[in-house]
């Protein structure tokens, strides 16, 4: 995010696993724009509605991700393949095999959860990155409710 938006260190906040705490704080202390960035697994949890992203509090639901693939037009056998996966990364690999924009849809759903939690006075975007810093998905690519 720092490189993407040419941000100063002071513009960044590390929310860790506690997305809900940060979003609820911003409801009462709004900023103009909030960009949430993270890995696919953590943001898949947020897309599912979890506000505590710690592995002890929430898990990536591969069934949920398989349903999203179905909504993106994946054939039933692709959805079944995704449903059999054990991790979010494995489902993401299935989506990539079929050129389905799963990361964009997960980012859009995570942004919708974040927006609802933070309130309408904060414009929320979500970006998903891999461990190498490459962008995998963006809520701007699939605006929900627009």
pLDDT in tens, 115-146: 999 999 999 999 999 999 899 999 998 766 54
Q: Return the minimum-mean-pLDDT range out of 13-17, 24-28, 68-72, 82-86.
A: 13-17
Residue entry with tokens 């505590």: 52
Q: 68-86, pLDDT tens digit by residue? A: 999 999 999 999 999 999 9
Token representation of residue 140: 């701007």
Residue 85, C-beta contacts closer than 8 angstroms, at least 6 positions apart: 62, 65, 66, 91, 94
pLDDT at 50 over 80: yes
- Is residue 125 a contact partner of residue 35, using CB atoms and an 8 Å limit? yes
Q: What is the pTM of this model?
A: 0.90
- Is residue 124 a contact partner of residue 118, using CB atoms and an 8 Å limit? yes
Pick the closest to residue 38 from 55, 20, 14, 56 (CA basis): 14
- Is residue 108 a contact partner of residue 116, using CB atoms and an 8 Å limit? no
Strands (E), the chain: 33-38, 123-129, 135-138
Who wins on pLDDT, 145 or 39? 39
Domain residue ranges in the chain: 2-6+15-141
């Amino acid at each position: 995010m720092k490189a993407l938006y040419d941000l100063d260190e002071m513009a960044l906040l590390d929310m860790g696993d506690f997305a809900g705490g940060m979003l609820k704080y911003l409801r009462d202390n709004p900023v103009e724009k909030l960009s949430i960035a993270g890995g696919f697994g953590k943001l898949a949890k947020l897309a599912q509605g979890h506000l505590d992203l710690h592995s002890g509090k929430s898990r990536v639901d591969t069934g949920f991700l398989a349903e999203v693939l179905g909504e993106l037009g994946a054939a039933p056998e692709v959805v079944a393949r995704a449903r059999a996966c054990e991790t979010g990364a494995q489902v993401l690999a299935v989506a990539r095999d079929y050129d389905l924009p799963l990361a964009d849809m997960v980012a859009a759903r995570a942004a919708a959860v974040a927006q609802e939690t933070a309130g309408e006075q904060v414009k929320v975007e979500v970006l998903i990155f891999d461990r190498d810093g490459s962008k995998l998905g963006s809520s701007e690519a699939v605006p929900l409710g627009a």
